[in-house]
Amino acid sequence: MIAWIKVSSYEQMSEIAADIFTEQLAKKPDSVLGLATGGSPLGFYKEMVRRCQAEEISFARATTFNLDEYVGKGSGDATSYHKFMCRNLFRQIDLPETRHHLPDGLAEDLAAECVRYEKLIEASGGIDLQLLGIGVNGHIGFNEPGSRFDSRTQVIELTEATRKSNARYFEKEEDIPAKAITMGIETIMSARKIVLLAFGANKTDAVERLKSGAVTEEFPASVLHKHPHVTVIYGK
Q: What pTM does this model have?
A: 0.96
Kindly indicate the confidence band of residue 163, based on its pLDDT and cuts at 50, 70 and 90: confident
Given a cut of 90, whether residue 171 has pLDDT beyond it is no
Given a cut of 80, whether residue 195 has pLDDT beyond it is yes
Given a cut of 80, whether residue 193 has pLDDT beyond it is yes
Residue 5 three-state SS: strand
d(CA 225, CA 132) in angstroms, rounded, equals: 14
d(CA 105, CA 97) in angstroms, rounded, equals: 18
d(CA 132, CA 141) in angstroms, rounded, equals: 7
Q: How do residues 57-112 score in pLDDT, each as one tens digit?
A: 999 999 999 999 999 999 889 999 999 999 999 999 999 999 999 999 999 999 99
- Give the alpha-carbon dihedral of 182, 171, 197, 104, to 10 degrees: 20
What does the pLDDT read at residue 152? Answer: 98
Given a cut of 80, whether residue 191 has pLDDT beyond it is yes
What does the pLDDT read at residue 165? Answer: 82
What does the pLDDT read at residue 164? Answer: 81
What does the pLDDT read at residue 189? Answer: 98
d(CA 119, CA 132) in angstroms, rounded, equals: 21
Q: What is the mean pLDDT of residues 145-165?
A: 93
Which residues participate in catalysis according to the annotation? 68, 137, 139, 144
CB of 73 within 8 A of CB of 106? yes
Kindly indicate the confidence band of residue 169, based on its pLDDT and cuts at 50, 70 and 90: confident
- On average, the pLDDT of the chain sits at 96
d(CA 163, CA 172) in angstroms, rounded, equals: 12
d(CA 198, CA 230) in angstroms, rounded, equals: 13
The percent helix, strand, coil of the chain (3-state, each to 5) is 40, 20, 40
What does the pLDDT read at residue 168? Answer: 80
In 3D space, the residue among 138, 196, 213 whose CA is nearest the CA of residue 7 turns out to be 196
CB of 35 within 8 A of CB of 85? yes
Greater model confidence, 174 or 59: 59
d(CA 79, CA 218) in angstroms, rounded, equals: 28
Kindly indicate the confidence band of residue 224, based on its pLDDT and cuts at 50, 70 and 90: very high
Given a cut of 80, whether residue 173 has pLDDT beyond it is no
